[in-house]
Amino acid sequence: MNDYEKNFGEEKSTMQRLLPILSFLIIVGITIYTAMVWQGLPDQIATHFNVAGEADRYGSKWTLWLLVGLMFLMYALRFINPKMNKLYSYPVKITEDNKGRQFELVSSYMQVVIFESIVLIAFIQWSTINNAIDGLDHLNPIVMIVLVAAMLVSTVIYVTKSIQAR
């Protein structure tokens, strides 16, 4: 193990420090919101939406807590992320010369993906709750497309930087 691997994660960028805080605040916020409106929700709510944002499956309101649990699980992944660098697939061959930078890039990328996923799930949770309260059964497909597009853009940026740093 080289010095970089031993000390990996000690020097964090502003993004690497900020995203976990924002993720945590989003999770706590949506958890509190879910708990606050819980009693007013109908027993059956829309639990799945198609590409057009229309509900295509209904289920128990208890599924909302599964989404909260999923967000907390994803947040927990950020703690083991730096230790998993050797398990990821990289767009370039990892060598002694580039592994420090490649590990740094993949770690940052995973932090961004975890954050974006939490935002996406929180949006779905928030929309599902509000729709249940209002008696509606659809999500805004434009917001969903923007959130998924952001994830794709993050992936393109990561792959580009990784190739440049080979």
User: Radius of gyration (Cα) for the chain, nearest Å?
Assistant: 19
Phi and psi for 100 in degrees, rounded to 5?
-60, -50
Structure tokens at 102: 């490649």
Write the secondary structure of 87-132 as one string of H (helix), E (strand) and C (coil). HCCCCCCCCCCCHHHHHHHHHHHHHHHHHHHHHHHHHHHHHHHHHH
Q: At what angle do helices 63-80 and 99-134 cross, to 10 degrees?
A: 170
pLDDT of residue 138: 82
- Range with the largest mean pLDDT of 49-53, 85-89, 109-113: 109-113
Quote the number of domains for the chain.
Answer: 1
In a domain, 2, yes or no: no
Q: At what angle do helices 14-37 and 63-80 cross, to 10 degrees?
A: 160
Q: Is the pLDDT assigned to residue 4 strictly greater than 60? A: no
Structure tokens at 114: 């975890």
In a domain, 155, yes or no: yes
In a domain, 69, yes or no: yes
In a domain, 4, yes or no: no
pTM: 0.84
44: amino acid identity, one letter: Q
Compute how many other C-beta atoms are within 10 angstroms of the C-beta atom of residue 110: 18
pLDDT of residue 81: 63
In a domain, 82, yes or no: yes
Structure tokens at 34: 């879910």
Q: Is the pLDDT assigned to residue 1 strictly greater than 70? A: no
In a domain, 116, yes or no: yes
pLDDT of residue 11: 65
For 55, the domain range is 14-164
Site of tokens 């993906």: 113
In a domain, 3, yes or no: no
In a domain, 5, yes or no: no
146: amino acid identity, one letter: V
